[in-house]
Amino acid sequence: MKLADRALNISPSPTLSIDAKAKEMASNGHKVVSFGAGEPDYDTPDHIKEAAIAAIRAGKTKYTPVTGIKVLKEAICEKYRLEQGLEYKPEQVVVSAGAKHSLYNAMQVLLQPGDEVILAAPYWVSYLEQIKLCGATPRIIETREENGFKLVPAELESAIGPRTRLFILNSPNNPTGSVFTVEELGALAEVIEKHGIMVISDEIYEKLIYNGIKHVSIASFSPALKEQTIVVNGVSKAYAMTGWRIGYTLSTLPIAKAMGDLQSHSTSNPTSIAQYAGAAALTGDQSYTEQMKAEFLRRRNYMYERLNAIEGITCTRPNGAFYLYPNVKGFFGKSYQGVPINSATDLAAILLKEAKVAVVPGIAFGNDNYFRLSYACSMENIREGLDRIEELLNKIN
Ligand SMILES: *Cc1c(COP(=O)(O)O)cnc(C)c1O
């Protein structure tokens, strides 16, 4: 049996093997503490669940327009008008089965073989695979810890060549939690506008920023940039709705039309009842998100202090999302019970086996000198996990 090259070229998620091992250990009765979560540990707010239940009762259980129901698309336009001062018409909105699907649609209609895409590392791993699925070539730029893992304009500019079609921007960032300031974004925006390349702006963590920085969409810097940008967002992270699968894009009409046509032959509309829930999320009470954010901030601060107190670890203080990204290079060249440690993957394997703590090694995001630790888990979990990490790492030191 032969599979298509397209399928053979997809790398399985490197986070999954750790995750699978952690689950296997848990099922064998071990108490595993996991920092692997990529979703809020909160439940979806009741008023959003009620909107979905009401939609079921009202018989909203049929196909909807491919690119989404009117109330949801209008709510998305209104949100961007109020929060970003950006005017989009509902026809410029495409609602899909999660932001990941939105990203997929966007890349499928923009990219073809020979095109280059600039991706700053550490990056969210699906970007890389989605670029490859289009037959396009990723051009990866390593960011630096000293810059808070933020790409600087000169680095972006030097990576732009005649084949560059697209730059992928993700602020707040997964896995580093870094957030661009308005000034930093403005400087990148200038480079992007000057060279006329497209930008995908993944804004899925916009509601989770902790230091008072206001999220600004790169689309808002100039009318030209608005045309060059595909904004990607969704309800998964801000409203604890990862399972509902509602994401969306804002773009020019021709791009929106192309994505809608593509979607019409693949998934058609996203789930009808989830769309009603999504509309309730965007138009309803926003205080739940604020409460969640306050708790995330408390956890981040605790975890940041604890991690930096461990000899051999350095960790920058990220301002967004729900991840910390400590540097663990201090342990390379050492060993634990005869097992050498030369990468974050090696150290993660030891932590899982010996301390029963699961972390995601940086290899999953393009650089194996770091761990990603999620604080989308209980404070109790965080305390216990850090006690175990500290105890084990102190034995290695
Ligand atoms: C979680 C996540 C998404 C996708 O979220 P959906 O659940 O598909 O809406 C997109 N980008 C990044 C960086 C993420 O972490």
Give pLDDT, residue 15.
Answer: 66
Give pLDDT, residue 12.
Answer: 76
Distance 342 CA to ligand 1 centre (A): 30
Same domain, 292 and 277: no
92 lines ligand 1 (CB under 6 A): no
Give pLDDT, residue 285.
Answer: 95
Structural domains of the chain, count: 2
Distance 390 CA to ligand 1 centre (A): 30
Atom number in ligand 1 closest to CA 235: 9
Tell me the pLDDT tens digit for each residue of 292-314: 999 999 999 999 999 999 999 99
- C-alpha distance from residue 231 to each of 30, 80, 111, 220, 254 (Å): 43, 10, 16, 10, 14
* 50 part of a folded domain: no
Pairing status of strand 247-250 against strand 360-361: unpaired
The residue segments making up the domain with residue 237 are 62-283
170 lines ligand 1 (CB under 6 A): yes
Q: How far apart are CA 280 and CA 276, in angstroms?
A: 6
Give pLDDT, residue 21.
Answer: 82
**The whole model's pTM is what?**
0.96
Distance 204 CA to ligand 1 centre (A): 6
Residues of the chain under the 70 pLDDT cut = 14-16
174: phi then psi, degrees, rounded to nearest 5? -110, 120
Give pLDDT, residue 397.
Answer: 77
> Do the beta carbons of residue 75 and residue 282 sit within 8 Å?
yes
The token duo for 295 is: 């708790």
169 lines ligand 1 (CB under 6 A): no
Same domain, 191 and 340: no
CATH number (domain holding residue 31): 3.90.1150.10
Residues for the chain: how many in total? 397
What's the start-to-end Cα distance of the chain, in Å? 50
How far does Cα 267 stand from its chain's mean position? Answer: 22
Distance 75 CA to ligand 1 centre (A): 20
Tell me the pLDDT tens digit for each residue of 25-67: 888 899 999 998 889 999 999 999 999 999 999 999 999 999 9
Same domain, 343 and 210: no
CATH number (domain holding residue 82): 3.40.640.10
Tell me the pLDDT tens digit for each residue of 256-292: 999 999 999 999 999 999 999 999 999 999 999 999 9
98 lines ligand 1 (CB under 6 A): yes
> Do the beta carbons of residue 93 and residue 68 sit within 8 Å?
yes
Give pLDDT, residue 212.
Answer: 86
Same domain, 271 and 126: yes
DSSP alpha helix (H) spans, the chain? 5-8, 15-27, 46-57, 70-84, 99-110, 125-133, 153-159, 182-195, 223-228, 253-264, 272-283, 287-308, 344-350, 379-396
Pocket test for ligand 1, best of 95, 174, 322, 325 (most atoms within 8 A of CB): 174
Please enumerate in sequence order all residues whose Cβ is within 8 A of that of 396, keeping only pairs 6 or more positions apart, or say none. Answer: 312, 331, 334, 335, 336, 341
